[in-house]
Amino acid sequence: MNIQESTSILEKAKDAIGFAQELPPSPIYNLKNLENVVSLSAKTIKRRLVHLEELGLADYNRGKFTIKREVISQPYIVLQNIIPSLIALKKARRFGRHYKPTDVNFMKRHLPKDSIITLDHKAHELTKFQTPLNLYVYVDDVKKVSALLKSHGFREGKRGNVVLLPKIGSFENLTERVFLDCVANGGRNFLDAAAIMLTHKDVIKTRVRFAGDTILKVQEDLLTSEAAH
């Protein structure tokens, strides 16, 4: 995926992203309560949410929805740069067998050729910041690796801690790509992104917007981690 393709995808979602950026902060939104706030009909709001869900930026269910506010609020150039990550994460497939670290260990022993680990485990390798939870792996053939896992008793589902991702976008600067993946995934991985920025700032080219208290928290935790080692 090149810059032109990312720009095209972002342009299609421009109105939806603008809608999300204008929402007042809230952990969860109720569709019924929003019509007067944003001066849009429920039908239009739902259309906006469809575009956001296609990029993994919102989760809508039965009239209520959440958004990845820390991701949505990023400048245009950042959103453009994380499009490949967003699409890869949206296409992710999760697998689990015992739903314990043994599942991750199995996958690590059977990593396909040219696979690339990202997010939790790679972020921990780069920063020693947070204990990794899931193993995210970019593979050349998701279908083939899925079949391998299933042949060893793995089941596909939302609870799995082995996550297969299709290779989309550039991996030339691997540290930057892991950083962008962390930004795109949001949540606890957004803190990983801050840690990567603080510890590898010389190789991070994308200027992501972090709240001041986020940076302070991550800096303190990194110092504590360094002292412990």
Question: Does one domain contain both 195 and 140?
Answer: yes
Question: Does one domain contain both 58 and 109?
Answer: no
Which residue, among 131, 141, 142, has the nearest Cα to 228 in the 3D structure? 131
Question: Does one domain contain both 212 and 106?
Answer: yes
Question: Does one domain contain both 98 and 20?
Answer: no
Residues of the chain below pLDDT 70: 226-229
Question: Does one domain contain both 115 and 191?
Answer: yes
Query: Could you tell me whether strands 135-139 and 162-166 are parallel, antiparallel, or unpaired per DSSP bridges?
Result: parallel
CB–CB of 50/92 below 8 Å?
Answer: no
Host domain of residue 63? 3-67
Asked if residue 29 is part of any domain, the answer here is: yes
Question: Does one domain contain both 101 and 61?
Answer: no
Question: Does one domain contain both 108 and 221?
Answer: yes
* 154: phi then psi, degrees, rounded to nearest 5: -80, 145
Question: Does one domain contain both 186 and 115?
Answer: yes
Which residue, among 80, 107, 98, 106, has the nearest Cα to 165 in the 3D structure? 107
Question: Does one domain contain both 209 and 113?
Answer: yes
Asked if residue 119 is part of any domain, the answer here is: yes
For position 22, which CATH number holds?
A: 1.10.10
pLDDT at 59 (0 to 100): 94
pLDDT at 4 (0 to 100): 80
Question: Does one domain contain both 55 and 96?
Answer: no
110 Ramachandran zone, left/alpha/beta (phi>0; psi -120 to 50): alpha
Asked if residue 164 is part of any domain, the answer here is: yes
Asked if residue 75 is part of any domain, the answer here is: no
Express each pLDDT in 84-107 by its tens digit. Answer: 999 999 999 999 999 999 999 999
Helix (H, G, I), strand (E, B) or coil at 169: coil
Structural domains counted in the chain: 2
Asked if residue 73 is part of any domain, the answer here is: no
Question: Does one domain contain both 50 and 110?
Answer: no
DSSP class of residue 8 equals: H
Rounded to whole angstroms, the Cα distance separating 64 from 203 reads 39
Question: Does one domain contain both 216 and 105?
Answer: yes
